[in-house]
Amino acid sequence: MHDTPPPTRDAPVPAPGSGVTFVMPVLNERAYLARAVAAVLAQQFDGPREVILALGPSTDGTTEIAHELAAADERVRLVDNPAADIPVGLNRAIRAGAHPTVVRVDAHSELDAGYTARALATLARVRAANIGGVMRAEGRTPFQRAVARAYNSPIGLGGGAYHGSRDEGPAESAYLGVMRRSVLDEVGGFDETIRRGEDWELNLRIRAAGYRVWFDPALAVTYWPRESWARLVRQFHATGTWRGELVRRFGRRNSLRFFAPPLLVLAVALAVVVAVLQLTGVLSGVAALIGSLAYVPIAAYLALLVVIAAGPAGGRGWRDRLWTAAVIPSMHLPWGVGFIGGLLRGAHGTVDTSRLARNTPLP
């Protein structure tokens, strides 16, 4: 059980038509930014809107595209985020906003046209401080489609509500999030010392303040995963490292599902050690037989990969199925290695380098 107290406070409900501020941290998103902004501007709800882009030091032409978007539509505004830290950029964008409801948007995401209207209605109905929906991953290339299938599988990302739950209700966190500005101000906004998992930590403070965080499966956001194996591995290693840091800070307020990838890494390490001892004759006879039990978790994991890859979510052809089987451990193992490092040593400013272009210097 989590030690956060149950929600006892209703979040304020602004007057109808009060307006919405959309905030989006941006770094090297040339292929995605225009579509993400267009999806925001196409939102169907009553009231004014503004889209505030927090611009990191992009090197792929993203900044030029952002300035073109701002010049073409006065509702698009820009703020600088020179260190490229997501929570810093979010806080700067929120402070620059003028409306009582804040919608976080990712440049790798696209909102359904009715997303905001539905979120505003549900926020008012349940008096929540933050609400999120389902991350619906999609892909354009065979590799990206395989990553999307892994994201959409309960095995791929651990079965969090926003990866496919159908049950509306209170939630631990919210994907992206539609938030009441007054509550954000009350709890202090995003923690700028946390580079990954900042949304989970913010929602922890929102719930600790007595407010509701809500999940509505009718809300759907299209998400485009990383496009290459190397970027995927770097992304998940950084995410795992910061989850280890969050466990150091907050202990069992983290869900047990976060401990599955590091346990897999430890199981693989144990199996490798046992195999070496068996091959060198250090383990023999009964001891070698007992040691072979270390292979059972790995065999079970491989069997699970086969089942997932062979199932309907594995794709249509054998190439898609092989990609799916390869992608899932490429997410779990780097995440688990990063988690162990973050738990033992702390994150120490670890950066998600999958967001950087090849010639972008680290902040």
**Count of CA atoms in the C-beta half-sphere (13 A) of 361:** 3
Written as six digits, the tokens of 187 are 């709890």
Residue 239 domain flag: no
User: For residue 8, what pLDDT is reported?
Assistant: 77
Whole-prediction pTM: 0.86
- The CATH number covering residue 136 comes to 3.90.550.10
- Is a pLDDT exceeding 70 seen at residue 6? no
Span 25-33, average pLDDT: 92
- Whether residues 264 and 219 share a domain: the answer is no
- Whether residues 222 and 323 share a domain: the answer is no
Residue 159 domain flag: yes
Higher pLDDT, 224 or 291: 291
* Structural domains of the chain, count: 2
Average pLDDT, the chain: 89
User: For residue 314, what pLDDT is reported?
Assistant: 56
Beta strands in the chain (DSSP E): 20-26, 49-55, 76-80, 101-104, 109-111, 130-137, 169-170, 178-180, 213-223
User: For residue 81, what pLDDT is reported?
Assistant: 94
- Is a pLDDT exceeding 80 seen at residue 214? yes
- Is a pLDDT exceeding 60 seen at residue 358? no
Residue 3 domain flag: no
Alpha-carbon gap, residue 88 to 363, rounded angstroms: 13
- Whether residues 91 and 223 share a domain: the answer is yes
- Whether residues 345 and 213 share a domain: the answer is no
Span 139-159, average pLDDT: 80
- Whether residues 222 and 255 share a domain: the answer is no
Q: Structural domain of residue 279, as residue ranges?
A: 251-355
- Whether residues 69 and 150 share a domain: the answer is yes
Residue 205 domain flag: yes
User: For residue 290, what pLDDT is reported?
Assistant: 94
- Whether residues 146 and 255 share a domain: the answer is no
Angle at 37 between CA 23 and CA 104, to 5 degrees: 25
Span 287-297, average pLDDT: 94
Q: Could you tell me the CA-to-CA distances from 157 to 13, 35, 138, 161 in Å, in that order? A: 33, 26, 15, 10
Cα torsion at 118, 121, 124, 126 (round to 10°)? -70
Alpha-carbon gap, residue 138 to 311, rounded angstroms: 18
